[in-house]
Amino acid sequence: MERQVRLRNPVEPLQIPYPEDFRGKKTDIDEEEFTLTVLPRRLSDEEIDLAKEYIDALPYKQEIVYTGAVFIDPSDPLLSRSHDQLDLIEKREKLPNSKYAPRGGTKSIMQRVVAIRQHGYEANGAYALLEGKTN
C-alpha cells in the first residue's frame, strides 16, 4: 500500500538511498534513492520505514507527516471481500460502518476499502489492517 507523506519542517530535501538488500516496494522502480520534501508525495510503507530510519539519524528535528491520502494496491485482499465480510471487519475493529453513501445507496467495495484503510490508520492505529491482514 502507498500513502501520501511529507516532511514537517522545511529544512532541506532529503535524498534517501535504498540499501542494496532492499526488498520492499519502490514507488520509482529504477531509482537508487528517493527524495522527500515538505511537498506531499506517495511512498510505499517500506519506503516510509526507510525514511523514518534516515530521519532518526539527522542532527536536527524532523518528522514525517501523513496527509491522510491512502492509495490502495489492486491486490489488496480487502478488495475481494463482500459487503457482509467488510461489515464484519469494521465491527470487529470498531470502525464506523462505511457501507452506505451519504445520500443513499451502497458504496462500492473500492470506496469501502479506502475508508477502512484510512480509518484503520487514523482512528485506532490497527496495523493489522494496514498490512492487509483481515483475520
Q: What is the pLDDT of residues 69-106, one digit of tens each?
A: 777 777 778 888 899 989 988 888 888 899 998 888 99
Q: What is the pLDDT of residues 101-130, one digit of tens each?
A: 888 899 999 889 888 877 764 333 344 444
Please give the model's pTM, rounded to 2 decimal places.
0.60
Nearest to 114 by CA among 85, 86, 133: 86
Nearest to 51 by CA among 106, 100, 4: 4
